[in-house]
Amino acid sequence: MPSPALEASTRARRLQESLELRCRPPQDLAPGRLDEIEALVLGGRAVDPGYVRHNLERAHLIAYALFGQRVVATVSLKHPRAEYVERLLRRTGLDLSGYLERGYTSVHPDFRGQGLGTRLVDHLTRQADGRRIYVVIALDNLAAQAISRRCGTKLAAQFLSHATGQEYGIWIQQALPEQT
């Protein structure tokens, strides 16, 4: 009888093999797919819902993982709003003009802890055609920070959000993720 660790490893490998990773501009998504992606992002309750649809519709690229026909994870490269880039410049001194913002990394709870977030971020980053990328992560979000470190980003600055009272870090892409 196999050990529980071996069974878990086998299940995780089968799951990874049955996932399909895709990366598309939002205008090239199948009908209804953007709705699924938006619902997954909003279901995580980690972002302000006010701009999610707007940002997704105008994203540079959206990567997502399909399990069958169901979206189980997503991440996007967004064109940040000019006023947001200016606000970050005032708070941190970082000029992020011309960068894409990686964001909305969301993995369905049933699929967390299996490396899917890292795989998807890696997949998306490799499709960015050398564009400069940053990501804003709450300093208490250790899982997102771990994904970012594995995918070649470094903490460049920190700031306090006056709206939430929470500390955030800005991570900048240093290199393509290492091959695993």
> For the segment 160-169, what is each residue's pLDDT rounded down to a tens digit?
988 888 999 9
For the structural domain made of 4-173, what CATH number should be given? 3.40.630.30
Q: How far apart are CA 72 and CA 107, in angstroms?
A: 6
Show the 3-state SS of the chain. Answer: CCCHHHHHHHHHHHHHHHEEEEEECHHHCCCCHHHHHHHHHHHCCCCCCCCHHHHHHCCCEEEEEEECCEEEEEEEEECCCHHHHHHHHHHHCCCCCCCEEEEEEEECHHHCCCCHHHHHHHHHHHCCCCCCEEEEEECCCHHHHHHHHHCCEEEEEEEECCCCCCEEEEEEECCCCCCC
Residue whose pair of structure tokens reads 């091959």 in the numeric block: 179
pLDDT truncated to tens, each residue of the chain (180 aa)?
666 655 555 555 666 678 999 999 999 999 999 999 999 999 877 677 788 898 999 999 999 999 999 999 999 999 998 999 999 999 999 999 999 999 989 999 999 888 999 999 999 999 988 899 999 999 999 989 999 999 889 999 999 988 888 999 999 988 655 444
Q: Structural domain boundaries of the chain?
A: 4-173
Widest pairwise Cα distance in the chain: 60
CB 109 within 8 A of CB 116: no
Strands 100-107 and 61-67: unpaired
Q: How far apart are CA 67 and CA 89, in angstroms?
A: 39
Beta carbons within 8 Å of 19's beta carbon, 6+ residues apart:
65, 66, 67, 72, 116
